[in-house]
């Protein structure tokens, strides 16, 4: 049994309204399709992080 979907937050409703408004302005006024079908997420470029441990000196470890 799956849980019932939660209602949309005000931010999610605003985002959907923004996307729908943008689609209407593109000239697709007559045939709106559900957003799930053609909404594409662009590829993200992520940089790798090189994290090095901090070396603790002998003096600061004695304090």
**What is the pTM (predicted TM-score) of this model?**
0.32
The pairs formed by 3-6 with CB atoms below 8 angstroms and a separation of 24 or more are none
Which pLDDT value is given to residue 41?
66
- Spatial neighbors of 24 by CB under 8 A, at least 6 apart, are 32
Helix, strand or coil, per DSSP, at residue 61: helix
pLDDT tens sequence across 2-55: 677 788 888 888 888 888 887 656 555 455 555 555 566 677 777 888 888 888
């Amino acid at each position: 049994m799956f849980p019932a979907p939660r209602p949309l937050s005000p931010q999610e409703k605003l985002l959907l309204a923004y996307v729908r408004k943008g689609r209407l302005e593109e000239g697709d006024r007559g045939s709106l399709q559900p957003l799930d079908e053609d909404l594409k997420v662009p590829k993200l470029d992520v940089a790798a992080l090189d994290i090095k441990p901090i070396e603790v000196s002998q003096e600061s470890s004695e304090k």
